[in-house]
Structure 1
C-alpha cells in the first residue's frame, strides 16, 4: 500500500509538470484576428515594413525593386518564411530569391526550402520558402547562430533582362514559427534581444543642457515579451528523471531492509 501511494503521488506530480509543457508547445506566432498584414514593403533595411508572425503581408512593386520586411523571432522558435511572387502575363525567364538577415544584418542560412527559384517565360507566379535554424537563447560571439531579435526579409529578382525591368509585380509574405522545445535549449541568454536602433540627439535647450533619445527601428515583439520561451520540456524530463531515481531508491530500500523482525534461532542450536 505504501508503494502504491508513492506511485500515485509520482504520477500526479508528472501530470502537473507536463501541463505547462503542453501549453508551451503552441507556435510563438501571434496573428491578428483576420490574418492580414501591411500592404507595402520597404526598400532598405532602415525602411523595412514590420510584419507580425502569422500575418500575410502584401506589396505591389516593379520588377527589379528590392523589397524588405522585418519580423520578431524569440528563442526556441524555428521561423519559416514563405514568399509568393505574382508575375505579369508577358515576361522572360526570371530568377527570384528570398534572403533572411538577423538584427546584426548577418545573412542567415536556410535549413531547408526553395530559397531561389526560376520562373520560366510566361509563368504566372513563383513560390519561395526559407526555413531558418532554431533561434537560440545564447551563442558564442564567433558563431553565426540565429539569436532572439528582429529579422529582415529581402525579396528580389536576379539576372533580369532589360525588357523585364520595371514590369509590375505583386508579392505576398508570410512568417510562421514552430516551437521546438527543450531539444534546442541552451544554458545562457542574451542581456538584450538583437533589435537595431539608432541614437538621435535632440536640440539642447541651452548651452549647459543636452538631452538625447533613442529611436528604435523595430517596435514589434512577442506578446509575452522577449525570452518568453524560458520554459521547455527539459524541465519535464528532469522531473521525470528525479522521480524515477526516487522510486528506484524507495524500491531498493524496500527490497533490502527485510521484514524487520529478529531472526529466530531454533532450539538446541
Structure 2
C-alpha cells in the first residue's frame, strides 16, 4: 500500500508540473495561432501589413475601409490571392473586390478567379480569388509583366448603402504560389527585386545616417531573380542525349572499313 501511495503522489506531482507547461504553450492574447500571422491590415500602400506566403492574415475592420497587405513573390512563382470577408447579420447587397499591385504599384491583371463578387442580403460571407500571371525574372521596360519583388493586395467594398457604412466585418487573406519551373524561365534577370522603400528613415533625429527602411519579407530561399532553374538541367540533359545519339549514329553508319569482296578474316 505504501508503494501505491508513493506512486500516486509522484503521478500527481508530474500532472501539476505539466499544467503550467501546457498553459505556456497556448498562444498569448493578440498572437495568431498561424505561426505569428498578422491580425491587422494597413490602410494604404505605405502602411500595408506584411504577410508571408502560406500564412492566413486576419483583420477586424469596418465596411467602407480600404485594407492593404503586402507579400513577396519571386521569379517562376504564380501567386494565388484568396480573401474571405465575413459580413454582419443584417446588411444590404454588397460588392467586394481585391486588387493586386506590384512593387511599382502597377495593377496586375488576374489570369482567372473571382476578383469581384456581390454578396446578397442573406449571404454570411463573400470569397474572392485572384490568380496572377507567372512572375518573370526579367521584362521589357514597356511591358506590364509581373516581376520579382513586393506585391500589394487591396481589399474593399465598391458599392455600399449608407446604412452599411461602418459596420464591423472580419477579413481573412491567404497567399500561396505554385512553382512553374524552368518552362517559364527567361535569359535576363533584374539586378535587384522590386522592393520599394519608405519616405521616412529609421530615426527621426536630424543628421541620422540610417538607411531607408525597406520591406522586411522575402522568399523563403531568398531572391533568385532567374539565376537558377531546372531549365539548365533540361538543357544539359538534352545536350548529353544529342551527343550520345551522334555517337550511336556514327557507329551504325561508318561500315566495317574493309574493301568490297574481302572476307572478314582475311
TM-score, scaled to structure 1 = 0.80
Uncovered stretches (5+) of structure 2, i.e. residues with no partner: 1-31
1:244 and 2:241 matched: yes
Structure 1 residues 199 and 160: alpha-carbon distance in aligned structure 2, compared to 1, 3 A threshold? closer
Q: How many residues align?
A: 230
Please list the CA deviations of residues 38-94 of structure 1 after superposition, one character each: whole Å capped at 9, or x if unmatched.
100001111110000000000001000000000000000000000000001100000
User: Match for residue 84 of structure 1?
Assistant: 84
Higher RCO (C-alpha 8 Å, min separation 6): 1
Paired residues of 2:78 and 2:178 also in contact (CA < 8 A): yes
SS at match of 1:81: strand
Give 4+ residue runs of structure 1 displaced > 2 Å after superposition. Answer: 32-36, 198-204, 210-217, 228-233, 256-266
TM-score, scaled to structure 2 = 0.80
Paired residues of 2:148 and 2:225 also in contact (CA < 8 A): no
Paired residues of 1:46 and 1:217 also in contact (CA < 8 A): no
SS at match of 1:213: coil
Question: Bigger CA drift: 144-153 or 215-224?
Answer: 215-224
Paired residues of 2:189 and 2:225 also in contact (CA < 8 A): no
Paired residues of 1:36 and 1:56 also in contact (CA < 8 A): no
C-alpha root-mean-square deviation of aligned residues, in Å?
2.1
User: Match for residue 180 of structure 2?
Assistant: 180
CA distance in 2 between counterparts of 1:171 and 1:231 reads 37
Q: Could you tell me how far 1:200 is from its partner in structure 2?
A: 4.6
Q: Which has the larger radius of gyration?
A: 2
Uncovered stretches (5+) of structure 1, i.e. residues with no partner: 1-31, 205-209
User: Match for residue 16 of structure 2?
Assistant: none
User: Match for residue 114 of structure 2?
Assistant: 114
